[in-house]
């Protein structure tokens, strides 16, 4: 018998179309998986079983009539608890956000999923206000890695990454302000993409401003392209949203990488210490890209680490999101978040504008870089998953999460599309990710190259079975 939790969204839809199984079957399987993994992995803040099954029944009836509501009718999805989803609270991992409220509005991406008939399994975990690259919060506790529960799932979309990897829905919505889709996707062995800024509208606006993107977390690139076709349309509530894409991302996956100009930067010119197992796995994948016809050159983008500018923008955003809190509420915050808020509150407008200048120059440099190269390839992260409940690896010497994510946050500053693809595991069996980056508005190239890696067997479709099942 087919295990429906192992199927991609594309495969589920094909099964509905052929009458092999129904959205109710798929939703029940995903809900059972979500309940099973929750005690050990802690991927969810809320599982909405009754509402999910009701939507699945409605979807099944539409499929029986041969009239599905949209591109994702009946597909189980999860939503990170940063994004509004009507019918329940969005507490963003914080005890300072009250559970009571109207909660009667969907974020734009959630509204698009609803319009296309997707089935919402529940809300997934996040660190408080999505502030760091691992997922633990005073509200929900620690989210753990599907491959080793003693390790972190990454963050800030860690619950989403763990859920997809373990079969609790093939599709998830995450957010990415400095790597928060790509980090957990890499640690959990799934596909994750930060589209060009504005491709997926966001409302309410993030306190972290135009660093923050909404993106798909999926089992492979084909699912992500389908999801982006649904969520990547304008919404009047986001004044910075892009106009509709010129074509379907799913339809543009074919074509391979032959003739593409690929820059391979293994360590940003020696600026990043990459673990040998990570470096070797990424290099093997790049060699396969060359074997598939890409013109690969080992070279580095022309910039130094922009971490100070990123910190200025990030810390001031954190200070802004907590500005309204009184002394008692501040005591409820994650201690690390409280620290960066204090730093951010001391920064001046001139400090902020100086960081904007760095950002603009970085964007100019990467624009020129992509005049020559279609794609930039790097490791997604220089390490694999470390101990759960810690912001940085023990003994690393890093002060903040940005110390071990040097390949991700630069491309939030530049607003470029960037994705992570699983390309192997290390000696402990922990996933390794390869990052693909393209020029702004070339999301299609990132998806096409990633799809080629899956089609060639270089990337593996996620699908773990929990212990004891």
Dump the DSSP string for 54-79. HHHHHHHHHHHTT--SSTTTT-EEEE
Q: H/E element holding 29?
A: helix 23-41
Phi, then psi, of 305 in degrees rounded to 5: -55, 120
Question: Among residues 137, 156, 206, 265, which one is catalytic?
Answer: 156
- SS3 state of residue 410: helix
Residue 1 has pLDDT above 90, yes or no: no
CATH code, domain carrying 289: 3.90.1300.10
> Is pLDDT of 469 > 50?
no
Task: Return the structure tokens found at 12.
Answer: 């589920």
Active-site option among 137, 180, 206, 265: 180
pLDDT tens profile 146-155: 999 999 999 9
- Exposure on the CB side of residue 417, measured as CA atoms within 13 A: 28
On whether residue 463 sits in a domain, the answer given is no
Mean pLDDT of all residues in 161-170: 98
Rounded Cα gap, residues 89 and 168, in angstroms: 21
Distance between CA atoms of residues 232 and 148, nearest Å: 34
Two tokens at 89? 């609270």
**What is the pLDDT at residue 2?**
85
* Residue 467 maps to a domain: no
- Domain range enclosing 420: 4-455
pLDDT above 70: residue 464: no
Determine contact, residues 44/34, Cβ cutoff 8 Å: yes
- Whether 298 has a pLDDT exceeding 70, the answer reads yes
Dihedral angle over CA of 40, 220, 225, 181, nearest 10: 40
Average pLDDT on 459-467 reads 68
Q: Express each pLDDT in 340-374 by its tens digit.
A: 999 999 999 999 999 999 999 999 999 999 999 99
CA–CA gap between residue 376 and residue 452 (Å, rounded): 15
The answer to whether residue 468 scores a pLDDT higher than 50 is: no
Q: Is 206 a catalytic residue?
A: no
Q: Could you tell me the CA-to-CA distances from 92 to 45, 77, 140, 318, 389 in Å, in that order? A: 10, 18, 10, 13, 18
User: What per-residue confidence (pLDDT) applies to 34?
Assistant: 98
| Residue 258 within any structural domain of the chain | yes
> Which tens digit of pLDDT belongs to each residue from 101-134?
899 999 999 999 999 999 999 999 999 999 999 9
Is the pLDDT reported for residue 417 higher than 70?
Answer: yes
Structural domain contains residue 391: yes
- What are the residues facing 375 on neighbouring strands? 262, 438
Phi, psi of 431 (to 5 degrees): -65, 150
Residue 159 within any structural domain of the chain = yes
Average pLDDT over every residue of 415-426: 98
> What are the φ and ψ backbone dihedral angles of 98, each rounded to 5 degrees?
-70, 145
d(CA 402, CA 411): 13
Answer yes or no: is 376 within a domain: yes
**Residues whose CB falls within 8 Å of the CB of residue 45, separated by 6 or more in sequence, listed in order:** 81, 91, 93, 122, 123, 124, 125, 139, 140, 159
Q: Is residue 462 part of a domain?
A: no
One-character DSSP codes across 289-327: HHHTT-EEEE---S----HHHHHHHHHHHHHHHTTT--H
Angle at CA 351, nearest 5°, toward 347 and 356? 130
pLDDT surpasses 70 at 466: no
CB neighbour list of residue 158: distance below 8 Å, 6 or more residues apart: 43, 124, 125, 126, 127, 134, 135, 143, 152, 184, 187, 188
- Known catalytic residue: 180? yes
Give the per-residue pLDDT at 190: 98
- The answer to whether position 301 is within a domain reads yes
- Checking if the pLDDT of 171 tops 70, the result is yes
Structure tokens at 314: 């990030």
Confirm whether 156 is a catalytic residue: yes
Question: What is the pLDDT confidence band of residue 460, given thresholds at 50, 70 and 90?
Answer: confident
Give the model confidence (pLDDT) of 302-337 as tens digits.
999 999 999 999 999 999 999 999 999 999 999 999
Name the domain count of the chain: 1
* Helix/strand/coil for 379: strand
List of residues 6+ apart from 8 with CB closer than 8 A = 170, 218, 219, 220, 222, 223, 461
This prediction's pTM: 0.97
Are 15 and 7 in contact by the 8 Å Cβ rule? The answer is: yes
Q: How many residues does the chain have?
A: 469
Give the pLDDT confidence score for residue 350 in this predicted structure.
98
The whole-angstrom separation of Cα 223 and Cα 232 is 14
Q: What is the mean pLDDT of residues 192-219?
A: 97
List the catalytic residue out of 59, 80, 94, 265: 80
Range 102-121 burial, b when 16+ CB lie within 10 A, else e:
eeeebbbbbbbbbebbbbbb
The pLDDT mean for the chain works out to 97
Q: Is the preceding omega at residue 185 within 30 degrees of 0, hence cis?
A: no
Query: Mean pLDDT across the stretch 391-417?
Result: 98
CA atoms in the 13 A half-sphere facing the CB of 23: 28
pLDDT band (50, 70, 90) for residue 465? low
For residue 62, the model assigns a pLDDT of 98
Give 70-106 pLDDT, tens digit per residue.
999 999 999 999 999 999 999 999 999 999 989 999 9
């Amino acid at each position: 018998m087919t295990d429906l939790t192992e199927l991609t969204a594309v495969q589920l839809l094909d099964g509905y179309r052929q009458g092999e199984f129904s959205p109710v079957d798929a939703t029940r399987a995903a809900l059972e998986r979500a309940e099973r993994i929750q005690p050990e992995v802690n991927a969810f803040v809320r599982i909405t079983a009754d509402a999910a099954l009701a939507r699945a029944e409605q979807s099944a009836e539409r499929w029986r009539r041969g009239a599905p509501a949209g591109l994702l009718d009946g597909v189980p999805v999860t939503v990170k608890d940063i994004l509004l989803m009507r019918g329940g609270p969005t507490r963003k991992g914080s005890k300072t956000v009250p559970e009571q409220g109207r909660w009667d509005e969907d974020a734009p991406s959630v509204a698009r999923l609803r319009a296309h008939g997707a089935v919402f399994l529940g809300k997934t975990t996040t660190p408080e206000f999505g502030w760091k690259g691992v997922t633990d919060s005073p509200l929900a506790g620690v989210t753990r890695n599907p491959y080793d529960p003693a390790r972190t799932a990454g963050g800030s979309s860690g619950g989403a990454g763990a859920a997809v990897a373990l079969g609790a829905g093939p599709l998830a919505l995450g957010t990415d302000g400095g790597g928060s889709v790509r980090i957990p996707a890499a640690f959990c062995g799934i596909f994750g993409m930060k589209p060009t800024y504005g491709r997926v509208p966001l409302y309410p606006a993030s306190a972290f401003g135009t660093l923050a993107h909404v993106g798909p977390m999926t089992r492979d690139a084909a699912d992500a392209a389908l999801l982006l076709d649904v969520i990547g349309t304008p919404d009047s509530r986001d004044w910075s949203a892009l106009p509709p894409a010129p074509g379907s991302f799913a339809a543009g996956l074919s074509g391979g990488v032959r003739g593409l100009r690929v820059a391979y930067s293994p360590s940003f010119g020696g600026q990043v210490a990459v673990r040998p197992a990570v470096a070797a796995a990424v290099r093997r994948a790049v060699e396969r890209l060359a074997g598939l016809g890409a013109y690969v050159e080992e070279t580095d983008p022309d910039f130094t680490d922009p971490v100070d500018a990123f910190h200025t923008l990030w810390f001031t955003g954190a200070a802004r999101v907590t500005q309204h809190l009184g002394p008692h509420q501040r005591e409820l915050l994650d201690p690390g978040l409280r620290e960066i808020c204090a730093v951010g509150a001391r920064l001046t407008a001139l400090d902020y504008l100086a960081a904007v200048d760095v950002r603009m120059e970085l964007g100019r440099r990467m624009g020129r870089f992509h005049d020559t190269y279609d794609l930039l390839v790097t490791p997604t992260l220089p390490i694999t998953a470390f101990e759960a409940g810690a912001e940085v690896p023990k003994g690393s010497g890093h002060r903040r999460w940005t110390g071990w994510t040097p390949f991700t946050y630069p491309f939030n500053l530049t607003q470029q599309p960037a994705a992570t693809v699983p390309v192997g595991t290390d000696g402990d069996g922990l996933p390794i990710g390869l990052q693909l980056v393209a020029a702004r508005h070339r999301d299609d190239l990132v998806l096409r190259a990633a799809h080629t890696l899956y089609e060639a067997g270089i990337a593996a479709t996620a699908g773990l079975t929990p212990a004891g099942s």
